Amino acid sequence: MNTKLLSAAAIDVGYGNLKVMAAQLGGDVDTADSLLLPIGAAPIEQAPRLANGAPQLHGGEEVLLPDGRRWVGGIDPTFLSGFARQTHDDYPSTDEYLALYLAGLAKLEALGHRTIDVLVTGVPCSQFVGPRRQELKDTISRRFRGVHQLGGNRTVEVRNAFVVAQPMGCYTGFLREHPIQLKPGERDTRTVLVIDPGFYSVDWVLMQSGAMREGSAGSSHMATSTILEAAAQAISSAHGGVPLSVAKLDGSFRNGDEILRLGALTVQFRGFIEAAAAEKARVAMSKIASAMRLSEDVVDYVLLCGGAALLFQSAAKKAFPASEVLISPNPVMANVRGYLGMALRYPQVQRKAG
């Protein structure tokens, strides 16, 4: 196979951010192109306008859906009129999801990744192991494969697309960052409970020897969205009922701000988020710990990734006092880095199988 102009890619169309990575085949995750984009996606008519009437994209990408409709993806949601964040299990079937995927491809095309040999993405554990799992995987793979017309003369071809459980990306990073020496015929028997607190769900999966433990994956909706909702209500109540949307609070949280401006008020908001997270994380960890009680042995490692990893660290240590609790380096990008590692190895696996 001529790999000179072929790329491997990973796209994580999350509920809170769009994560994109790519490298030429034979390349490395550490030197790959990497992008973190906002989750805003909508018909182009909902984007703000410049004085000349042209859409102002604020770093997003204008893309064409297969039926020819013009959308914008990867834009901060606060710039879009009438934006409604998708927080439901059918998200992968929506136009918003597809527009964000195409926006990710458009960013990669601009970086020179125009022919992608293999692309890996992920879905929450509840969907990956749920009753509609095969239908969902087939739908996403079908939507992601093929030659995508991005508008103008831009196209990207995706030859192969695979769907994995989201936390498996984080686990791949763990194996890479914590290698052990094995004798011929030995297996890595370490048990790693991967917990991924995302915007829509907290996903978990127990991994050992490169595979998911049967019946050990699940999801909870005590995730970042519920933390932000509780914090927004608490901030509003503490400041005379001043209106505060979850979208505005989420934007300040994601940007790393310390101060939130509400009209004439300035609020140090992070304490409210931490207080809300303490309760939501405790409930989520109780559910996970109950699921893990079915295992006969103590879990060796508890590995946290995702945008709210730090908010869940204390609750994880209390729920699993006998385990070593770790946070992935760059937890927001941990899953997509793992996906890219899988994509880069795919040609080697293919050759061995052949």
pLDDT in tens, 194-212: 999 988 888 898 988 878 8
Mean pLDDT computed over every residue of the chain: 88
Domains of the chain: 7-165 (3.30.420.40), 186-329 (3.30.420.40)
> Does the pLDDT of residue 214 top 70, yes or no?
no
Predicted confidence band of residue 145 (pLDDT cuts 50, 70, 90)? very high
pLDDT digits (tens, 9 = 90+) for 215-265: 778 888 888 889 999 999 999 999 999 999 888 898 888 778 889 999 888
Q: What does the chain come to in residues? A: 354
122-132 confidence digits (pLDDT tens)? 988 777 877 77
Higher-pLDDT residue of 216 and 282 is: 282
- Within 8 A by CB and 6+ apart from 123, the residues are 92, 136, 137, 140, 163, 165, 166
Identify the band that residue 65 occupies on the pLDDT scale cut at 50, 70 and 90. very high
Structure tokens that stand for 85 in this block: 């964040």
Write b or e for each residue in 94-123: b if 16 or more Cβ atoms lie within 10 A of its Cβ, otherwise e: ebbbbbbbbbbbbbbbeeebbebbbbbbbb
325 neighbors 316 (Cβ within 8 angstroms): yes
Q: What is the pLDDT of residues 292-319, one digit of tens each?
A: 876 667 899 999 998 889 999 999 999 9
Q: Residue 298's closest CA among 322, 319, 327, 314?
A: 322
The CA distance from 306 to 125, in Å, is 14
Give the pLDDT confidence score for residue 318 in this predicted structure: 94
- What does the alpha-carbon distance between residue 349 and residue 330 come to, in Å, rounded to a whole number? 27
Dump pLDDT digits (tens) for 5-40.
Answer: 799 999 999 888 899 999 999 999 999 999 999 999
**Whole-number pLDDT of residue 67:** 92
Give residues with Cβ within 8 angstroms of 142, minimum separation 6. Answer: none
Neighbouring C-alpha atoms within 13 Å toward the C-beta of 111: 21
- Give the helix/strand (H/E) hosting 275: helix 270-292
Q: Output the pTM of the full model.
A: 0.87
pLDDT in the model for residue 298: 87
Average the pLDDT over 41-70 and give the result. Answer: 92
Question: By the 8 A CB rule, do 44 and 155 touch?
Answer: no
* Phi then psi dihedrals of residue 192, to 5 deg: -130, 115
Q: Which SS3 state, helix, strand or coil, does residue 21 take?
A: strand
Half-sphere exposure of 18 (CA within 13 A, CB side): 26
Please name the amino acid found at residue 317: K
- Nearest 5°: CA angle at 333, between 328 and 336? 110
DSSP state of 49: B
pLDDT at position 85 over 60: yes
Helices 334-353/167-177 angle, 10° precision: 80
